[in-house]
């Protein structure tokens, strides 16, 4: 049984660690604030004091942190992953991060006889809890094949998309679709409120038809339940949209819908809430 290190145990990471643990994998975790994972420690999952200690002698090193700068910080330096992982260890970064950084980690890992995959996920806290995430994987095919059984524990839709960095590019397309979809969901609910529709009946009418989507079913219902707690933080969605924006800016291409949704979220100043809090964009103005 492969030994696993998991670094960055947030909203989704906790559930992923639990699923690995339930499947019988010895998983050691590191997160900057120990108190945030007290419940995992109480469940018998070992917490390391440092990244160096966490990754040493581990077969698989999984990472899921907030921002590209956090990815760079944990992978590089004397106490980082690349300096302390054993030869032939496999690094899997689940963070939604910059494609160029994924390519850099792949190249630098290979020089140290370490393997690397960029494997961003989609599905939010619900997908992480249920083990039904969508996982889009860039890197070498043989490495993907080697860890495929681990991906099956964490996700339901698992696709190899090509060379290093293409996992991140694929995730950008996912976030572009979400940007337009969540904005449409919020506008529909706002329209329903303004026209005195019964929103529960409205949801029954449209959620199973051509307008149906994960965003409508989950985040739309969360808005109706007045639940704005994060399954996915606004601050992380803003980060993702900015990555996509920068990728296209380098190619002199404008993503008009994404740019507008990014502006709406940025003006909200509610970074710690879930993405469904976009409803406040309309409440603020009306």
In a 13 Å sphere around the CA of 33, the CA atoms on its Cβ side amount to 4
Give the per-residue pLDDT at 284. 67
Average pLDDT, the chain: 95
Domain harbouring 158, CATH code: 3.40.50.720
Domain boundary residue, one of 129, 163, 197:
163
* pLDDT, mean of residues 185-207: 96
Report the greatest alpha carbon distance in the chain. 63
Domain boundary residue, one of 163, 181, 203:
163
Give the per-residue pLDDT at 224. 96
- Which DSSP state fits 274? B
SS3 40: helix
Compute CA distances 41 → 9, 21, 57, 169, 223, whole Å.
12, 12, 20, 35, 33
Express each pLDDT in 13-39 by its tens digit: 999 999 999 999 999 999 988 989 999
In whole angstroms, give the CA distance from residue 155 to residue 229. Answer: 23
Domain that holds residue 270: 169-281
| Among candidate residues 281, 284, 269, 278, the one with its CA nearest the CA of residue 181 | 278
Reply yes or no on whether the pLDDT at 105 is more than 70.
Answer: yes
Same-domain status, 71 and 120: yes
User: pTM of the predicted model, to two decimals?
Assistant: 0.94
Same-domain status, 201 and 134: no
Is 171 part of the annotated catalytic residue set? yes
Residue 286 inside a domain? The answer is no
Same-domain status, 149 and 13: yes
Question: What total of structural domains would you count in the chain?
Answer: 2
Reply yes or no on whether the pLDDT at 286 is more than 50.
Answer: no
Catalytic residue among 171, 208, 270, 284: 171
């Amino acid at each position: 049984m492969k030994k696993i290190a998991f670094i960055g145990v947030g909203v989704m990471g906790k559930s992923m660690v639990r699923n690995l643990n339930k499947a019988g994998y010895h998983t050691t975790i590191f997160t900057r604030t120990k108190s945030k994972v007290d419940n995992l420690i109480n469940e018998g999952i070992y917490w390391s004091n440092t990244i160096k200690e966490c990754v040493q002698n581990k077969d698989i090193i999984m990472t899921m942190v907030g921002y590209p700068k956090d990815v760079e910080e944990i992978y590089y330096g004397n106490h980082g992953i690349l300096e302390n992982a054993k030869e032939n260890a496999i690094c899997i970064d689940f963070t939604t991060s910059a494609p160029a950084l994924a390519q850099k980690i792949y190249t630098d890992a290979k020089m140290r006889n370490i393997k690397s995959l960029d494997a961003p996920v989609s599905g939010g806290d619900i997908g992480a809890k249920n083990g039904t995430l969508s996982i889009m994987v860039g890197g070498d095919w043989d490495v993907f094949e080697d860890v495929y059984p681990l991906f099956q524990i964490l996700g339901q839709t698992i696709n190899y998309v090509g060379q290093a960095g293409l996992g991140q590019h694929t995730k950008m397309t996912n976030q572009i679709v979400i940007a337009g979809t969540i904005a449409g969901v919020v506008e529909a609910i706002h329209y329903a409120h303004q026209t005195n529709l019964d929103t529960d009946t409205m949801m029954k009418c449209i959620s199973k038809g051509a307008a149906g989507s994960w965003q409508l079913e989950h985040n739309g219902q969360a808005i109706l339940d007045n639940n704005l707690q994060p399954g996915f933080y606004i601050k992380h969605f803003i980060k993702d949209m900015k990555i996509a924006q920068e990728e296209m800016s380098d190619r002199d291409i404008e993503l008009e819908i994404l740019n507008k949704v990014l502006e709406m979220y940025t003006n909200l100043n509610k970074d710690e809430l879930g993405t469904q809090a976009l409803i406040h964009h309309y409440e603020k103005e009306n």
